[in-house]
A = this chain, B = another copy of it.
Amino acid sequence: MNFCSHCGAPVRFAIPSDDDRPRYLCDNCGTIHYQNPRIVAGSLPILGDRVLLCRRAIVPREGCWTLPAGFMENGETTPEAAIRETREEACAEIELGGLYTMVDLPHINQVYMIYLARLRDDVAPAFSAGPESLEVRLFREEDIPWSELAFSTITKTLECYFRDRARLEREARDVQTLDLYSLHSDVIRRW
Q: How many copies does the complex hold?
A: 2
C-beta contact mask, A26-64 vs B, less than 8 Å → 1, else 0? 000000011111110000000000000000000000000
Q: Which residues of chain A from 1 to 35 have any CB-CB distance to chain B below 8 Å in the complex? A: 1-8, 10-11, 18, 21, 24, 33-35
- A75 near B109: Cβ-Cβ < 8 Å: yes
Q: Looking across the interface, which residue of chain B has its beta carbon closest to that of A77?
A: B104
- A72 near B1: Cβ-Cβ < 8 Å: no
Question: Inside 8 A of A74's CB, which chain B residues have their CB?
Answer: 35-37, 106, 109
| A-B CB contact pairs (8 Å), 24 listed | A2-B8, A3-B4, A3-B5, A5-B5, A5-B11, A5-B24, A21-B73, A34-B71, A35-B74, A36-B38, A36-B39, A36-B73, A37-B72, A72-B111, A74-B106, A75-B109, A77-B104, A77-B187, A78-B104, A78-B185, A79-B104, A80-B106, A182-B183, A183-B183
